[in-house]
Structure 1
């Protein structure tokens, strides 16, 4: 019998002589089949000389349970005759693994005559032999203990080996059904070209390949993610692929979540950088506006109301004030605007505000609001709430063409520590007030959504928007430790959802506002420190026009020198927070060492909530934000001079 499947085959006459002369030396039980797969059982010497352990393979009436059924043999025979190549088949019967190989035999005319069938057996529990040749049955038994899919594929993409996990978990087929199937049919069509390329590389170039793809289990989709690692091997002198397939669906989900979080982090960092830029621009712009507003007010106080230039100066003042409103929006986005939070009922405040905001909407737009009956207290700046509502309602109005509807909802929500499905990664567990504004307008494109909170980004026509509305809302919400999300689809409208921390303490009593001062109660010596010359000159003019004694300095070094010259006889220090070499708070501390009775008023175009971690600046107490009006500034001076000295 030929040992190599690719060697020339023996003619029938030589085979008969071989079997008749030395049957006991034949390494495997062999049988002769005709071209249709029927057994041609030899009689006489062949049967008598076969060892007892081999006679069990001989059929009685040309059939045997030890031999594969006629239908399978016929199918194998047809393929062998057609291809003139050996055919391999494996099966398990009564706990015994059988391996069958069908060889084509040459006839005297050179064609395919009869067929040679060899049979080998081994218990399925038998350990694989450690010889140099690969045994398919041994490999499959070894892999049965591995909790991953292990398959062996021949060069024609037919499954010829598998382990129990692949059979039961992935394919859900019997052993007979598994043989010969194409495992690539389970691969997602989009991933199939890449997997085929890797299979080609393994077979042709003997490379080890790995890759990720989507596949379905058993009956079909949904697809699950899998990783495959494949290597070429030779089984029965034929190149095959041994592949390990591991499901990685959960890992892919974790990677996608990590990618999403990474994108959110990058977007947050981007917004923070843009916020710093916006804050820097607003700071410089506010300094200029402070000088413009203050000087126009000084001129208006000095001029006769009938003077022809008064109207022009008032226009300058009005435009400068409007510009200051824009910078406040920038500062809100940068979270550097000084807020004056109060405890109030959010539902009542929204209800009152919406009545006023109806005038912003066209008659063809219906405004609805659904507010919960229970009081929801928040500690928030009411002015900032107005900014949020006006900006969201105006955006919703502009998104609606023709008639439409805007719905405002407000209620309380609670996030527990073990609640992993809140969809709000920016919030920690606790009680929150949730405000949502929904419109049925045109919606927002998916490519636009990541940019909607960026300052000056707008999809409106030129002249119809500054691009600061949503950036202002974003900054206010973040400044108050809240979270904002936008859900929108083109043609299906937009919903903005805002979460704000809920205030659990009793409502605070309102502090009465300062009444306008017509005359300052105290005259004093005031030291003004400001590195911006226009602001320094403006403050000096305001104070001197109200009979204060004024000392000026452009930085801390000059201030300390002037204070020493006047023996530190200074009643009030008015200083910018940010100064070169030494900031305003550090300067005040140095002066109070020499003059403990010194009082301080801090100014800034934007005030950090905490400068160097040393002091919290309090608007309306010891801080005034630029730009400011003359009356507001003088009231702040009077308030500080009338208060007790506070150590910094």
Structure 2
């Protein structure tokens, strides 16, 4: 770049460009050198200050501090200090400066004087603000070129031709990563090269190094030797905050540079600013890397995390939290009050602590609560931790919908198990009661029936006894229903007159309906609508639908229409019901209740689906109806609209029954001379059986002891055409009696009877060889017909 045109010493020009001034004193504090730049700052010519003590142009209040720094901090310390001081301009005004002072040592190590670099505080802070702004701009925009721009600015300010910044590469031994800044061309040349032997080794050792001329001959970095044809060099070490040398800062000048103590002050000032920048950049990079790492952890956390400020406004939320609440991106929740997004009524006080200044923070207690999702659904969540730092409060929470579902299923299973256990206990109790109760009913109904036959119709006694007989039959049906309900017995599928069964069941339905509901019957004639099913299955269908109709109508005026009739299912209806075409018995139940929406109708047969309040419905009734109908190869159709009531139509296959063959009745008289053994440990029942059979013309031998009955049979096995025996008896049970009779005379005809048994059923009785199995109280008309069929070997199923 050649010689400076103005001919001023280079150090003076640097000082002018830096808006600072240099001065030097002897050991006593008398100024012996002062740069010309002092004129622009204080209004003094250098010669006016040379020979004066330093306190001559300091503000009176600053003299003590200034002398203290010279005498104590510098002379007794490491040899340099930096402090703020107020100097007086020639016109008497005050100016604040930042002073950097170094002591000069003599040959024997004594203090020979001081050098100082003084920079106006305003300029210093402007430069500092500019550098800090550059750093902040770089951190915001992630601009990797900011240090290059900074070096260019500093080099031009110093008036250098080149700036060299070298950073030690700690990953490679004795290697420097260098950046050469060409101030004239504004070019940047990067280079990695071996550590120069000289003079850079001295700088890396922590020493300042300066050469007035011929400096390039001492460098062995090839790019510098080719590109830089300079004479002068000033270099200082770059040290980090721990004092470790991390690189070199050097200025190269085209003109020879006269040695000056102020040169070190210039380089020290720049070095501190650059190290500050490097350290800030390194810290920013480390912080950025740390933020990236923790941002990943934040986003990958397996729970929702949301942060609020002291006003309760959301300032951050991770992806898991946004997924839980159904938000479409963080922008949809930022600055929103936490209660507007998360809380349902009553949740605020459970989760938030409100301080005296109205600021809020999350409570640390583990709390279960519900949040309102963006789609309107409320779901259960649980707070699993809360942390506060300053004005920011952090909440960790997780969706517990699945856990709640499992818990609800467990509770439901436990409830159902408890219900099953209760039903089992009820069934056991019902079985024990039924055995004795049926024996009592058999005695009552049997003797009543016999006595009734001896009374003339129309008399008071005949009417009264008819009432007793009807009551006993109803009592028998109640016991049977209890046993069926508790599943202690299973009725076989038989041809059932649907209209007659519904007519009887309606008596129970009326008792359960409010008086405000009118029940209208439209039932076919007896015998017209026959289906093949268990009576209990039909009861399940009818009672469950009627219960839903009752709940739908409530206590207000309503109407329940029950209709049974024969119909044809063909064409589109057959396709809709998924049934083969043919004749079906149709059970229609229509109510005038609240009705249902199409969505509800589509789900009513799902297990556990219910629209009723908690505790008022299990959601199983209609699911049971659907299952029973499908089991019976039938179909079901539902028509309903909100406010228009509901109609259930059940279609069950019609069962064609042949006419009753009366040939058995014609043969009745031929069997009335047969001999029958009647065995029951209840003396009243044994007496009843004997009298009833005798009234039919049979020769009867009754026994109250099974052992005596067996001995009699073994003595004359061919004397008895039929044995009717109770099942539950002391000493020898009916089952054992049956086995012994068949062992004595294979093919013997035996009828088993019982009030109740959980160890014997129809199928097992047939396997053991019994001809029939009857439940008490016995229907005597049915028994009479059954005896005739068995004795005549009519091929019918008596089970």
- Under TM normalisation by the shorter chain, which class is it? 0.5 to 0.7
Do the aligned partners of 2:484 and 2:536 also contact (CA within 8 Å) in 1?
Answer: no
Select the residue among 358, 366, 369 that pairs with 1:210.
366
Do the aligned partners of 1:292 and 1:320 also contact (CA within 8 Å) in 2?
Answer: yes
Distance in 2, matches of 1:303 and 1:174, equals 92
How far off is 1:230 after superposition? 0.7
Is 1:641 the counterpart of 2:797? The answer is no
RMSD after superposition = 6.5
How far off is 1:536 after superposition? 1.5
Distance in 2, matches of 1:409 and 1:123, equals 85
Note the 1:141-220 alignment, pairs <5 A.
Answer: 141-146=296-301, 148-153=303-308, 157=312, 159=314, 161-166=316-321, 170=325, 172=327, 182-193=337-348, 195-196=350-351, 209-217=365-373, 219=374
Do the aligned partners of 2:494 and 2:532 also contact (CA within 8 Å) in 1?
Answer: yes
Is 1:221 the counterpart of 2:373? The answer is no
Q: In the alignment, what sits opposite 1:519? A: 669
Select the residue among 478, 493, 508 that pairs with 1:341.
493
How far off is 1:400 after superposition? 8.8
How far off is 1:186 after superposition? 2.3
How far off is 1:178 after superposition? 6.4
Is 1:230 the counterpart of 2:385? The answer is yes
How far off is 1:612 after superposition? 10
In structure 1, stretches of 5+ residues that fail to align are: 1-14, 24-40, 67-118, 129-135, 414-431, 455-472
SS in 2 for 1:601: strand
Aligned CA distance change for structure 1 residues 146 and 581 (closer, same or farther; 3 Å): farther
Aligned CA distance change for structure 1 residues 446 and 230 (closer, same or farther; 3 Å): closer
- Per mean C-alpha deviation after superposition, the further-off stretch among 543-552 and 381-390 is 381-390
Q: In the alignment, what sits opposite 1:56? A: 134
SS in 2 for 1:515: helix
- Per mean C-alpha deviation after superposition, the further-off stretch among 191-200 and 524-533 is 191-200
SS in 2 for 1:643: coil
Q: In the alignment, what sits opposite 1:44? A: 123
Structure number having the greater helix percentage: 2
SS in 2 for 1:189: coil
How far off is 1:535 after superposition? 1.0
Q: In the alignment, what sits opposite 1:626? A: 776
Aligned CA distance change for structure 1 residues 628 and 391 (closer, same or farther; 3 Å): farther
Is 1:246 the counterpart of 2:398? The answer is yes
Do the aligned partners of 1:187 and 1:213 also contact (CA within 8 Å) in 2?
Answer: no
How far off is 1:548 after superposition? 1.6
Q: In the alignment, what sits opposite 2:688? A: 538
Distance in 1, matches of 2:323 and 2:545, equals 56
Aligned CA distance change for structure 1 residues 166 and 405 (closer, same or farther; 3 Å): closer
How far off is 1:596 after superposition? 0.9
Q: In the alignment, what sits opposite 1:577? A: 727
Q: In the alignment, what sits opposite 2:591? A: 439
Distance in 1, matches of 2:723 and 2:354, equals 80
Aligned CA distance change for structure 1 residues 386 and 515 (closer, same or farther; 3 Å): farther
Aligned CA distance change for structure 1 residues 284 and 190 (closer, same or farther; 3 Å): farther
SS in 1 for 2:387: strand
How far off is 1:622 after superposition? 1.1
Note the 1:289-300 alignment, pairs <5 A.
Answer: 289-300=441-452
Distance in 2, matches of 1:393 and 1:58, equals 78
Distance in 2, matches of 1:50 and 1:199, equals 40
Do the aligned partners of 1:438 and 1:496 also contact (CA within 8 Å) in 2?
Answer: yes
SS in 2 for 1:526: strand
SS in 1 for 2:447: helix
Do the aligned partners of 1:396 and 1:406 also contact (CA within 8 Å) in 2?
Answer: no
SS in 2 for 1:579: coil
Do the aligned partners of 2:676 and 2:723 also contact (CA within 8 Å) in 1?
Answer: yes
Q: Deviations over 1:541-597 (max 9, x none)?
A: 333453424151344x45444444556864432112333466433431232122213
Distance in 2, matches of 1:42 and 1:137, equals 39
SS in 2 for 1:212: strand
SS in 1 for 2:692: helix
Q: Deviations over 1:25-84 (max 9, x none)?
A: xxxxxxxxxxxxxxxx984224556896x4514789xxx979xxxxxxxxxxxxxxxxxx
Q: In the alignment, what sits opposite 2:744? A: 594
Is 1:604 the counterpart of 2:780? The answer is no
Distance in 2, matches of 1:22 and 1:406, equals 107
Aligned CA distance change for structure 1 residues 509 and 286 (closer, same or farther; 3 Å): same
SS in 1 for 2:437: helix
TM-score (norm 2): 0.47
How far off is 1:538 after superposition? 1.0
SS in 2 for 1:244: strand
Aligned CA distance change for structure 1 residues 65 and 448 (closer, same or farther; 3 Å): closer
Is 1:550 the counterpart of 2:701? The answer is yes
Q: In the alignment, what sits opposite 2:187? A: none
Select the residue among 425, 436, 439 that pairs with 1:284.
436
How far off is 1:252 after superposition? 3.7
Q: Relative CO higher for 1 or 2, CA cutoff 8 Å, sep ≥ 6?
A: 1
Distance in 1, matches of 2:665 and 2:676, equals 23
Note the 1:118-157 alignment, pairs <5 A.
Answer: 122=284, 126-128=288-290, 139-146=294-301, 148-153=303-308, 157=312
Distance in 2, matches of 1:600 and 1:213, equals 69
Distance in 1, matches of 2:535 and 2:432, equals 25
Q: In the alignment, what sits opposite 1:133? A: none
Larger Rg computed on CA atoms: 2
How far off is 1:246 after superposition? 2.5
Distance in 1, matches of 2:397 and 2:564, equals 50
